[in-house]
Amino acid sequence: MATLKEISAELGLSVTTVSRALNGFPEVKEHTRVKVRETAERMGYRPNRIAQRLVTGRSGMVGMIVKIKPDMSADQTFFEMLTGLTAALASRDTDLVLAVDQDSDPVTPYKKLLERDILDGFILNAPIVDDPRVTFLQDHGVPFVMHGQDRPDPTYPSFGIDNAQVSAQSVKLLANLGHKRIALINDELRHAYASERRSGFHAAMEQRGLSTDYVQNSATLESHGYMHALDMLSGSAPPTAFICASTVVAAGVMKAVHDRGLRVPDDISVMAHDDALPLTRAINFDPALTVTRAPLRDACSPLANILLDHLDGKPARELQVFQDIETIVRGSTGPAPKEV
């Protein structure tokens, strides 16, 4: 493995110039830059990352803690994120170090990884409302990027979707179809995103003078979707439309509608937010699911870049980006049924 010194010796140049030539500094003659590039290539030069890191004070490694559910079941979103993040980080010479959260206290795994004293920053995901990890990391001056936001006006870099907007768009679509009684099958409210969706839902409904009687916040399982929908549909003035936290929940809701002897979309409209995970594809529903859509995969590259930009000194307030959400109308939504 060739080093800068060897290249400089080969060319009769100084190490400085070789370094600058390869790193694209302006103060090196084009002629020499070409020559340096050529011999570097020829000698199979590859910068020693460790040496780079020693002198720059950066480790080139960022951490992420994987939260495992009590049953050790793997989160489907995890591999989606892992795939995207490692690719995005690699393109900026950064590696992802993983650790598993088995502790009850949410900050302990971060503390542990931090003690190893090797990380430049963290990527956080799945924020809960007023996330304790935020306080901890900020107190310790550790840079991080959050996928989502744990509070309305955060002071840290973040990337995510506008969840209030998700609800607003969903309500708008359904209200325009004439629906009045719209249900929200939401995630547990401790999840920041669920809290935002709820606020957005309430705001959008109240703006139209619609009541928000049908809201449930619980774990996003198919079975829960099924249960809640069944329950709501057996009331005296049942909802005519469901907004679901995820496509998985929508699957449960649709099953409940079916089991009630009702049809989608004729009797009941169903829509969901779609992270575009490969396993549960909205297009494969019958009828195909109307969704607000923001592929999780699309978040990976921005998350990586935001964190690395932040490490390069870019201030947090310039690094709070929202992902676009698409509304895709498919077969599972239709005009509200005539009132009897």
Partner DNA sequence: TTCAAAATTCAAAACGTTTTGGAAAAAAAT
Partner DNA sequence: ATTTTTTTCCAAAACGTTTTGAATTTTGAA
249 near 220, Cβ under 8 Å?
yes
Structure token pair of residue 161? 């979707």
Backbone dihedral angles phi then psi of residue 120, each to the nearest 5 degrees: -85, -25
Nearest 10 degrees: CA dihedral of 257, 261, 267, 273? 10
Residue 86 interacts with which of DNA, its own copies, none, CB < 5 to 8 Å by class: its own copies
- Which parts of 52-91 interact with DNA (CB under 7 A)? 52, 54-57
Q: Is the dihedral of CA 227, 131, 147, 196 positive or negative?
A: positive
CB under 5 to 8 A by kind: which of DNA, its own copies, none does 68 bind? Answer: its own copies
- Give the CA count within 13 Å in the CB-facing half-sphere of 238: 20
**Spatial distance between the Cα atoms of 303 and 147, rounded to a whole number of angstroms:** 7
Q: Is the peptide bond before 335 cis (omega within 30 degrees of 0)?
A: no
Out of 10, 24, 39, 45, name the contact with DNA by CB under 7 A: 45
Residues that bind its own copies (CB under 8 A): 46, 48-51, 53-54, 59-61, 66, 68, 71-76, 78-80, 82-83, 86, 90, 93, 95-100, 102, 112, 116-118, 277-279
Q: Interface with DNA includes 312 (CB under 7 A)?
A: no
Question: Is residue 47 part of the contact set for DNA (CB under 7 A)?
Answer: yes
CB of 94 to DNA, least distance (A): 15
Of 7 and 204, the one with the shorter C-beta distance to DNA is 7
Name the segment binding DNA (CB under 7 A); options: 9-17, 60-68, 134-142, 309-317: 9-17
Distances (CA, A) of 189 to 80, 168, 211, 245: 24, 18, 19, 12
**Which of 242, 199, 251, 196 has its CA nearest to residue 220?**
251
Nearest approach in angstroms of CB 10 to DNA is: 12
Minimum CB separation from its own copies for residue 275, in Å? Answer: 12
Is-contact 290 274, C-beta < 8 A? no
Nearer to DNA, 15 or 316 (CB): 15
Residue 278 interacts, among DNA, its own copies, none and using kind-specific CB cut-offs from 5 to 8 Å, with: its own copies
Residue pair 142/114 in contact by the 8 Å Cβ criterion: yes
Check binding of 93 to DNA (CB under 7 A).
no
Binding-site partner at residue 20 among its own copies, DNA, none, CB < 5 to 8 Å by type: DNA
Angle at 299 between CA 296 and CA 300, to 5 degrees: 105
Least Cβ distance, residue 300 to its own copies (angstroms): 11
The yes or no reply on residue 12 touching DNA (CB under 7 A) is: yes
What is the contact surface with DNA in residues (CB under 7 A)?
Answer: 1, 3-5, 12-17, 19-20, 22-23, 27-32, 45-48, 51-52, 54-57
